[in-house]
Amino acid sequence: MHTTLSHHGLLAFDPIAPRDMAFVLDNARALQIAAQAGAMRSLLRGRKFGLLCELDNGIHSADDAAMFCRAAMELGAHVAHIRPSLTGLSTALEVQHTARMLGRLYDAVECQGMAAELVHQLGIDAGVPVFDAVASTRHPTARLDGLLGGDSPALDKRRFVLQAVLLSTVA
C-alpha cells in the first residue's frame, strides 16, 4: 500500500495527474477499510514531520494544522510545530540554510500560510518532501474526498486522503 510516488505533483497546488489520483484514492480506501476494522497500523512510526505555520496570523485555519497533525500522528509519526521565520524578504542564503536544516531534522515539512514561491524554494533545497498546505481544503487533493466513497464522515475521508498522500510521498 505505501509505494512512493515517482511524481511530486502532490506537494503543491499543481493539478493532480490521473495516475497519481488513482494511486492516492486506492491507498485512502485501504486506510478507510483498516480504520473501520480497527486495524490502523503505525506505517509512519519513527518518521518526523515539521509543520511550519503561524497559527495566529489569520492566513490559514488552525483546523488545517490540526488535520495535518492528526493524520500524521495516527500513522505513528511525530509532528513538530515550527513558527516560520522566513518571509518574502528573506535572502536566498537564509532560505537555503533553513531548508537544509529542515531537511536534516525532518522526513517531510508541511508549510501553511506561506508564499508559494518560498515553499517552492524550500522544497528545492530541503532534500525532503515540502508540502504547500496539503492539509488545506483548497489543496487539489481535497477534491479526492468526494471520490473516496463509503459512509465515513467528510472529515474522516479528508484525513484518509491526507494520510495516503503522506504515505505515498514519505514512506
**pLDDT single digits (tens) 148-157:** 888 889 999 9
Q: How many CA atoms lie within 13 A of 84 on its CB side?
A: 26
pLDDT tens string 34-44: 999 999 899 99
pTM score over 0.85: yes
- Within 13 Å and on the Cβ side, how many CA atoms surround 164? 28
In whole angstroms, what is the distance from residue 143 CA to residue 137 CA?
Answer: 8
| Residue 171 scores a pLDDT above 80 | no
Closest C-alpha among 171, 159, 23 to residue 108:
171
Binned at pLDDT 50, 70 and 90, residue 12 comes out as low
C-alpha cell belonging to residue 63: 483546523
Q: Quick one: cell of 94?
A: 537564509
